[in-house]
Chain A
Amino acid sequence: MMRNTNTKLAVIVALLLTLSGCTAINPGVNDFTPSAARSPGERAVDREKQGGPPTLDDLFARIAEQVPGFGGMFIDKDGNLAVYMVHLQPNAAAAVQNAIARVFGQDERFQRPIVLLPGKYDFLQLKRWHDRLMPEALGLDGVVSTDIDDAHNRLRIGVETLAVQREIELQLDKVGIPREAVVIEQTEPVRYESSLQDFHRPLVGGLQINFGNYVCTLGFLGVRQGVQGFVTNSHCTNTQGGVEGTVYHQPVASGTTNRVGLEIADPTYFSGSPCPRNRRCRYSDSAFVQVPHPNGPSVTVGQGSLVLTALGSLAWNGTDVYRIVGEADPLVGETVRKVGRTTGTTEGIVEQTCVNFNVLGTRITQLCQADGSYNSNSGDSGSPVLRVTNSPQANDVVLVGIHWGSGGVFSPIGTNNIQRATELGPVNTCADGFSC
């Protein structure tokens, strides 16, 4: 978790600085000598000459060069600085403290009580082994990570399955590392964490889309009058009501590279009965977008697929999806979910159906809408609203509508709303093998 948070922070800071032009990339310095015969500490200096900062392992190696027998250190659960020493000599703590001050300066993290632990391996030895083993081990399929485990005075190798253990042991033999110096453990493979706001293909419901200076959410894929496309909100077009050929990108515009669609249906708002006086009305906040854009790259689509994330999460592995196997208008009391680019997957109860909503700051009235208690925020406009049925398979859902307004307001999917003849008309939204 900490690694994740620190990594994100570092990426954000780096991004801010890079975007702003605040950083200058220092060209590499090429006057270093080959490092194969050098100590780990000396190689740390080489690494700095190459323009890269020394790693924590490099700095620990420098301490080990000054304090023979130093085996690594970590902060223990009581907040002490726990230091492994191969030989527990009387002056070891003072020697380590002095070496730390020389290597790290007055770093507050190390200014705490020292607890000496009996170690088996000198850090220089561990580092030499690790430097030798790492290229071989990470070259094996199924190996996730290699590390000098500071908290256990051992090397640690993470593997997806223990099936690869025998191959690792052969490598250990080959490079002369004792088996007992290495912990091999099963661990989850590391994947880049992406979100609904990132580039994804095929297109599926719930992803971020962009048009002009605006950001919304792709509702759901569908086929309308034989044309493949997707549904999003009418207010997520250049002009709400009426077709202006709004061009969409996923996740954001980048020339024509991320161009995915062209607005081709967005009925105009009408006045007159049953629309209130001085208002303009529709029965849904929906528009249909042709995919791909006629002047854009080819785009793959996940017909009948909606992003599946954990509740409250934006993170998405790019593969888990809900499968749309039917459509149904909402009923009060039903539990529904919405999946949007800002607040991810959220869940709530349908509280009202067939409610007429005036849209704040406009003369628009949306007739016969539904209202749920799920959380949402700006950018979630266009989100699919669904009901999980887990039938006939796990993660099968019924499509309920499309979200558009604060407080969980959405347009139902049925023939009184989105698929009404004067709205978008029939749209096939189901996954292959199902009809709806």
Chain B
Amino acid sequence: MSRYLFSLVGLWGILLVTGCFHDNKNTAPGVLTVTLDVPSEARAGKTILFQLKVQNTGQGLLSVTLGGRPPYDFVVTTQDGAEVWRWSYGQAIQEILEIKTLKPGEHLVYTVEWDQQSNSRQPVGPGEYMVRGLLNVDPPHKVETEAKLLRILP
């Protein structure tokens, strides 16, 4: 996974360094920024909102390939990395590719609800969990956010 991220970051780096990711009218580059919004804690049994924000934080147009419909995913793991819940677990995703152009500052927001159930539909219980957001881009690449800590309180 990190290999793909590094590949993407590397390519992005090249494009930024060369100033090559732009339209003909605007020489400034587009910059893809993917951020995750997760509450730091929640009561056990409550539905929790996860939000992935995909934004062009650069000064020029950004063309980004979105892989799949929907192109995003969320994963909850234990502190030691064991997967507890994945939004797409056991689900079918339509395997289409979309080429999306974002203007400077333009963003997409993807929100899902987690009912604190595991992949096997069991309540996960109180504890500390890590949440990550994933954006599928040009296959097989994915952009993965930093993991954020989520405390489930009794």
List chain A positions with a Cβ less than 8 A from chain B: 16-17, 19-22, 213-216, 233, 235-236, 285, 340, 342-343, 357-361, 366, 376-381, 403-407, 409
- Establish whether residues A20 and B88, one from each chain, have CB atoms under 8 Å apart when the complex forms: no
Q: Is the CB of A215 within 8 A of B96?
A: yes
Q: Tell me whether A406 and B19 are in contact (CB under 8 A).
A: no
Contact B68–A378 (Cβ < 8 Å) = yes
Ordered nearest first, which 8 A-B pairs have the shortest CB separation?
A20-B20, A378-B67, A405-B92, A360-B91, A377-B139, A215-B97, A361-B70, A379-B97
B129 interface hit (Cβ, 8 Å): no
9 contacts between A and B (CB under 8 A): A20-B15, A213-B99, A215-B98, A359-B91, A377-B67, A403-B95, A404-B92, A405-B93, A406-B92
Bound complex: CA A22 to CA B92 (Å): 42
Contact, CB under 8 Å: A22 / B94? no
Bound Cα distance from A377 to B24, whole angstroms? 32
Whole-angstrom CA separation of A20 from B15 in the bound complex: 9
Task: Give the residue of A340, A379, A407 whose beta carbon is less than 8 angstroms from that of B92.
Answer: A407
Given the contacts A16-B14, A22-B20, A216-B97, A378 and B92 also touching, CB distance less than 8 Å: no
Select one of B14, B19, B95, B101 contacting A379, CB under 8 A: B95
Q: Within 8 Å CB of B91, what residues of A?
A: 358-360, 406
Nearest residue (CB) in A for B92 is: A405
A16 to B13, CA, bound (A): 13
Residues on A with beta carbons closer than 8 Å to the beta carbon of B94: 233, 235, 285, 359, 381, 404-405
Q: State in angstroms the CA–CA spacing of A213 and B71 once bound together.
A: 14
* A376 and B93 contact, CB distance less than 8 A: no
Alpha-carbon separation in the docked complex, A366 to B93 (Å): 12
CA distance in complex: A379, B88 (Å) = 18
**B98 contacts A213, CB within 8 Å?**
yes
Interface residues on B, range: 20 to 34
Contact A360–B88 (Cβ < 8 Å): yes
| Cβ contact within 8 Å between A379 and B139 | yes
Q: Give the contacts of B43-64 with A (CB-CB under 8 A).
A: none
- Known contacts A22-B20, A378-B68, A406 near B98 by CB under 8 Å: no
- B interface with A by C-beta (< 8 Å): 14-15, 18-22, 24, 67-71, 87-88, 91-101, 136, 139-140
B19/A20 in contact, CB under 8 A: yes
Is the CB–CB distance between B18 and A235 below 8 Å? no
A381 and B92 contact, Cβ closer than 8 Å, known pairs A19-B20, A213-B100? no
Chain A residues, CB < 8 A from B101: 213
Partner of A17, one of B18, B24, B93, B136: B18
**Looking across the interface, which residue of chain A has its beta carbon closest to that of B22?**
A20
Residues of B within 8 A of A376 (CB): 95
A364: nearest chain-B partner, CB-CB: B94
CA distance A366 to B95 in the complex (A): 14
Residue from B69, B97, B100 with most neighbouring chain A CB atoms (10 Å): B97
Q: Which of these, A342, A360, A409, contacts B139 with CB under 8 Å? A: A342
Supposing A236-B96, A379-B67 touch, asked if A22 and B18 sit within 8 A by C-beta, the answer is yes
Taking CB as reference atom, which chain B residue is nearest A383? B95
By CB atoms of chain B within 10 A, which of A233, A361, A378 has the most?
A378
Chain B positions within 8 Å of A235 at CB level: 69, 94, 96
Most buried by B among A357, A379, A404: A379
Task: Give Cα A101 to B136, complex, Å.
Answer: 48
